[in-house]
C-alpha cells in the first residue's frame, strides 16, 4: 500500500510491525549497530517505531531482489538513516541499512 507522502510503505504499518518485533536485518546492519554499542534489536525497533512521528521519507529504490525499498531519516537522539522493504507474505520489515545519517557501513 502506497503511503500518502509518496513512500512505498505506510509508516504506521511499518511502526506496528516494528513494535511487534517483526524485523529482519542483514548481518551488516546488526554488526554496525553492535560495533557502535547499540542493542541491534532494540535500536531497530526504536528507529522503525518512530518512523511515522519522526521520520522523513527521502526516496525509494529498486533492490536487486526485485523489491522496492524506502529510505527515511528518523530524528531520535541522532538522525538515523534507514532503508527497508516490507515482506507482505511473511509480514516482516527487512532492514538493509540502518546507521547514523551520513555514516557508511
Does 3 reside within a domain? no
* Claim: this prediction has a pTM higher than 0.95: no
Instruction: Report residue 5's pLDDT band, with 50, 70 and 90 as the boundaries.
Output: low
What is the rounded distance in angstroms from the CA atom of residue 2 to the CA atom of residue 95?
Answer: 18
- How many other CB atoms sit within 10 Å of the CB of residue 101? 14
What is the rounded distance in angstroms from the CA atom of residue 55 to the CA atom of residue 90?
Answer: 24
| pLDDT score at 90 | 86
**Count of domains observed in the chain:** 1
Does 35 reside within a domain? yes
Q: Is 89 exposed, middle or buried (0-12, 13-18, 19+ CB in 10 A)?
A: exposed
- Residue 60 belongs to domain with CATH number: 3.30.2310.40
Does 1 reside within a domain? no
Does 46 reside within a domain? yes
Which residue range(s) make up the domain with 86?
11-100
pLDDT digits (tens, 9 = 90+) for 73-103: 999 999 999 999 999 888 999 999 999 977 7
Higher pLDDT, 65 or 92: 92
- 2-9: average pLDDT: 68
Does 45 reside within a domain? yes
Does 84 reside within a domain? yes
What is the rounded distance in angstroms from the CA atom of residue 26 to the CA atom of residue 101?
Answer: 18
Does 5 reside within a domain? no
| pLDDT score at 102 | 75
Does 58 reside within a domain? yes
pLDDT digits (tens, 9 = 90+) for 6-61: 889 999 999 999 999 999 999 999 999 999 999 999 999 999 999 989 999 999 98
Amino acid at each position: 500500500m502506497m503511503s500518502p507522502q509518496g513512500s512505498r510503505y505506510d509508516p504506521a504499518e511499518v511502526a506496528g510491525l516494528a513494535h511487534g518485533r517483526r524485523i529482519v536485518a542483514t548481518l551488516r546492519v546488526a554488526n554496525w549497530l553492535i560495533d557502535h554499542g547499540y542493542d541491534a534489536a532494540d535500536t531497530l525497533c526504536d528507529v522503525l517505531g518512530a518512523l511515522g512521528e519522526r521520520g522523513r521519507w527521502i526516496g525509494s529504490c529498486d533492490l536487486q531482489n526485485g523489491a522496492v525499498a524506502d529510505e527515511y531519516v528518523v530524528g531520535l537522539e541522532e538522525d538515523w538513516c534507514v532503508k527497508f522493504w516490507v515482506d507482505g507474505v511473511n509480514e516482516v520489515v527487512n532492514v538493509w541499512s540502518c546507521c547514523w545519517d551520513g555514516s557508511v557501513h
